[in-house]
Structure 1
Amino acid sequence: MSSTGRSYYSRDEVAMVQGVWPVELLQDPRRQPRVLNTAGEFVKELLLGDHVEDFVVLPRGTELLDLSFQDSIPEDVRQCLHNCRSAHDFIARVLQRPEMLEKYRADVEYIDPNRQQRDILRKDKLNLSKRIREALRMAEAGEANPALLYVAEMRLQKETPHPIGGENVKTICRRDMKDVLGPLGQWTLYWDRYDEGFFAGGRCSGKGLHVDQVLWSNVGRNYQGYKLLAAWPRGQVSKEVAMEFYDVLFAPPLRPRELEALHKAAKVVLLRPGDVYMFSGGVAHTVICVSQEMCLGVYESFVNLNPFHVDHFLHTADLEGPFFLDSYSMSPRSFRETKDDCLDQLEDAAQHFEKGGLRRVLQETVPVAEAPPSWFQLQLRLLSDDDFLRTLQQHFARAVDLCAGDRYFRRHLLQKVRFASKACGGYGGDVPLRPGQPVDSSSSYSSDMSDVDEKPG
């Protein structure tokens, strides 16, 4: 692992930021990312680490993880993006390809006079042609700044088998971080690459400030261009900033209140081409492109088994308190679908015990022909590390007990999951931890269940 300092960004990179956001925020060592050097370090951090209020970067990660733009993004999308300077250029080209209009869907977003980001024809989400035509009309009529148009969440119209994983997905990406992990990916509480998003925008476009509806993490790939990202501390600070600036794009010239909010950010990071990165989407965050070159990127959402992340995730459907954002928060009823996916993940991990453990599962796994050998070698190296495997199993045990503090989880935990949790040193959900209860890895479980609160759902 390497540390960062005032020299982390070059003069050219600092100059790129000037006039967009205060340079002193970018150069503040406290706000800079944690930089890792190898693919192995990054994957360990992804599966085991706590980055709820951190930002972790693997420079040249798309190369080190064999997740290149050419291998991951479909050729028709790459052709339409060639030499584009803005999302306006990109969608104008897509409009000339009827087969792409039938194949893909995407949000086309603009900035209204109140600086808030809005979806164009949100109700026509499956009609890409209509959305693009309206975006171009608005730009021509002066109703939307064409330079600030942003393409978000581009994905397939219809689900199709993923070329590596084989499961039905709508992501346009042909390679993902989930593929790099192989069977290790099942040792997370949640992973979403079904709806993985692709984003594209020119200078000073981006994504307005928001908190993801599910309090999960994002692992992203910044394929092209430079973009600034700010992330705020979890809980009350994120709530206050989000309630005042939800969907506001922090584009220059910044207003005094926006400057004040940026100075409250925990992290202010400049992402470079080729960076692979992770941070918590369950805190207030915003992104703005700063290079003349168009910014292109994708992300997957996940929840690792680290108890701090599991605890944070379980606050998703709170009905009050520092994680509740009025109409922006996910309802307990909607959150149940995500919980069902988590229960499936825990069951998949538990099945590895029935098959003799993770090491045996990997030994018996036949690598997919389309997968680069580096992924399998990385998985082998990780599973040869006794400390890594031991910590992963401990996190699994604690995650089950934390989930058991939620009534819906406790009711639906399968016996095989409870057994596997006990085999990893936990209580198998028999002594559940409630969200918000201290979860430091060095602390012991409390045997007193008298104050275990049941969350709605």
Structure 2
Amino acid sequence: MQLEQAAGESGWPLEILEDPARQGKRLDSVAEFMDFLRCGKHSDGEMYILTEGISKLKLETSLPETLHQACLTKQSTVEALLNTLDRGDPWAGELFWWPPGETKREEVCGVDLCNKLLRYRPFAETCYVAEMRRSKRALHGQSLEMTDTLTLTDVKDLASFRLPFWDRGHGFLGSAGAGICLHVDQAWWSNVAKNFFGNKLVALWGPGTRVLDTCGGELFRKPLCERHLAALAECRRVALLRPGDVACFTGGLPHTTLVLGSALNLTFYESFLNWNCDNLDLLLSGLQRRVDQAWWQNNMEPKFVETVLGDIVRVAGDFIEDSEDHEKFVSLLRTRPLTAARLVQAGIQERLRPGTAKRRCLR
């Protein structure tokens, strides 16, 4: 798909999609992309895209075969998934839909993903499946960790380095006109988006933006209103993810997506925190938010915050490069007041006392 077609189908202004100052940085080099993932600054709204990254990273066979085949059909999102699901191994996920002309989503309730799909089946409005995963955690085939991811291999498995936090994430499936409404993630970490099938527009805003106040929780779908056009005119980065692209950007800044074209779009996201102190500062800032806000800007529940912090501390305390950057990383994690209080509460502060970190190289 070319940008002219993307503009025509989405209503997003072509001058914004073509603006070189807003373009995500496209790379052909796996090494350069992985370096941005490992230590790059994401908190300023930068976005890197590895063109044809699925094949370059050899991730073509990382999907369940039934899901892979379903995405090649011309079926709707609902029918494709119903023909994929193993009733003996139920999947979980959220199912959202938009009535005609609406930009705010409605959610389908149900016991599991199959039940939600069957309840929604009689309707014809646009729908999107988010956070698609297994309903029960199981041993991962390569790492032997417990995970609910559907993918067999992730970027995490291909990296020659370890990061403070790296979650295998979940899948998102939809057809033209669906997507993720404008939001920030519950945790302000970074994402690596593996766009297996279909075309998807992504817009990302920079620090200090007030776009959530005017358009939070809304899908930027055609026809765009004046508020959405004004918001897009202020975005920091915009990109058209084509089949096979892999992108990296922060989830701690406002972002939105929109599926285009006749093919189903399937993207799996991994979430992580790298060794850049600015990204750690963004994550810790986000953890100070309240937990009673609208979904598009809400914080994680305290029990999940402590789990994430615990994982970060365990890695940071054991795998520290002998460098100034990593000393700063540990110092920031140890001395941030709110974080320190939660580390004490979780009983893991001891691991980050000065001088306790083991000197081991990450490379």
With structure 2 as the length reference, what TM-score do the two structures score?
0.88
Q: Residue by residue, what CA displacement relative to the aligned partner does 1:233-290 show, whole Å, maximum 9, x if unpaired?
A: 12x31xx222332221111001111111111111111111111110010011000011
Which residue of structure 2 lines up, in the alignment, with residue 55 of structure 1? 47
What pairs up with 1:128-147 in 2 under 5 angstroms? 128-139=113-124, 145=125
Question: Which amino acid in the other structure matches residue 398 of structure 1?
Answer: K
Question: Which amino acid in the other structure matches residue 160 of structure 1?
Answer: A
1:162 correspondence with 2:153:
no
Question: Which amino acid in the other structure matches residue 267 of structure 1?
Answer: R
Q: Is the 8 A contact 2:49 2:248 kept in 1?
A: yes
Q: 1:273 to 1:394 in 2, by over 3 A?
A: farther
The higher radius of gyration belongs to 1
Which residue of structure 1 lines up, in the alignment, with residue 21 of structure 2? 30
**Identity within the alignment, %:** 27
Shift of 1:36: 2.2
- Give unpaired runs (5+ residues) of structure 1: 1-9, 140-144, 351-388, 425-457
Which residue of structure 2 lines up, in the alignment, with residue 243 of structure 1? 213
Which residue of structure 2 lines up, in the alignment, with residue 106 of structure 1? 93
Name the CA distance, whole Å, in 1 between partners of 2:26 and 2:41. 14
Q: Is the 8 A contact 2:306 2:343 kept in 1?
A: no
Q: Secondary structure at the match of 1:298?
A: strand
Q: Is the 8 A contact 1:117 1:207 kept in 2?
A: no
Shift of 1:415: 4.7
Match of 2:79 among 89, 106, 118: 89
Shift of 1:325: 8.7
Q: Is the 8 A contact 2:71 2:265 kept in 1?
A: no
Q: Is the 8 A contact 1:85 1:292 kept in 2?
A: no
Q: Is the 8 A contact 1:243 1:325 kept in 2?
A: no
Q: 1:85 to 1:51 in 2, by over 3 A?
A: farther
Q: Is the 8 A contact 1:189 1:303 kept in 2?
A: yes
Which residue of structure 2 lines up, in the alignment, with residue 39 of structure 1? 30
Shift of 1:156: 0.7
Q: 1:191 to 1:79 in 2, by over 3 A?
A: same
Q: 1:282 to 1:415 in 2, by over 3 A?
A: closer
Question: Which amino acid in the other structure matches residue 115 of structure 1?
Answer: T
Which residue of structure 1 lines up, in the alignment, with residue 195 of structure 2? 222
Q: Is the 8 A contact 2:91 2:112 kept in 1?
A: no
Q: Secondary structure at the match of 1:278?
A: strand
Q: Secondary structure at the match of 2:58?
A: coil
Which residue of structure 1 lines up, in the alignment, with residue 242 of structure 2? 272
Deviating more after overlay: 224-233 vs 112-121: 112-121
Q: Secondary structure at the match of 2:93?
A: strand
Shift of 1:84: 3.0
* Superposition RMSD in Å: 2.4
Match of 2:177 among 196, 204, 219: 204
Name the CA distance, whole Å, in 2 between partners of 1:54 and 1:415. 32
Q: Is the 8 A contact 1:101 1:129 kept in 2?
A: no
Deviating more after overlay: 279-288 vs 47-56: 47-56
Name the CA distance, whole Å, in 1 between partners of 2:281 and 2:350. 20
Match of 2:277 among 286, 302, 307: 307
- Give unpaired runs (5+ residues) of structure 2: none
1:171 correspondence with 2:149:
yes
Match of 1:190 among 159, 165, 177: 165
Shift of 1:307: 1.0
Shift of 1:172: 0.2
With structure 1 as the length reference, what TM-score do the two structures score?
0.71
Shift of 1:419: 2.5
Which residue of structure 2 lines up, in the alignment, with residue 256 of structure 1? 226
Shift of 1:61: 1.0
Name the CA distance, whole Å, in 2 between partners of 1:347 and 1:17. 48
Question: Which amino acid in the other structure matches residue 276 of structure 1?
Answer: V
Which residue of structure 2 lines up, in the alignment, with residue 337 of structure 1? 307
Q: 1:325 to 1:258 in 2, by over 3 A?
A: farther
Match of 1:293 among 236, 252, 263: 263
Question: Which amino acid in the other structure matches residue 146 of structure 2?
Answer: N
Match of 2:103 among 101, 115, 121: 115
What pairs up with 1:406-425 in 2 under 5 angstroms? 406=336, 407-408=340-341, 411=344, 412-415=348-351, 418-419=354-355
Q: 1:319 to 1:249 in 2, by over 3 A?
A: closer
Shift of 1:343: 1.5
Q: Residue by residue, what CA displacement relative to the aligned partner does 1:275-322 show, whole Å, maximum 9, x if unpaired?
A: 1110010011000011222211101000111011011111012248xx
Name the CA distance, whole Å, in 1 between partners of 2:174 and 2:88. 19
Q: Is the 8 A contact 2:318 2:358 kept in 1?
A: no
Name the CA distance, whole Å, in 2 between partners of 1:111 and 1:34. 32
Name the CA distance, whole Å, in 2 between partners of 1:282 and 1:14. 29
Match of 1:316 among 269, 273, 286: 286
Question: Which amino acid in the other structure matches residue 396 of structure 1?
Answer: H
What pairs up with 1:58-77 in 2 under 5 angstroms? 58-68=50-60, 71-77=61-67
Q: Residue by residue, what CA displacement relative to the aligned partner does 1:383-430 show, whole Å, maximum 9, x if unpaired?
A: xxxxxx76xx43321111111122236643345773365969xxxxxx
Name the CA distance, whole Å, in 2 between partners of 1:58 and 1:402. 31
Q: Secondary structure at the match of 1:132?
A: helix
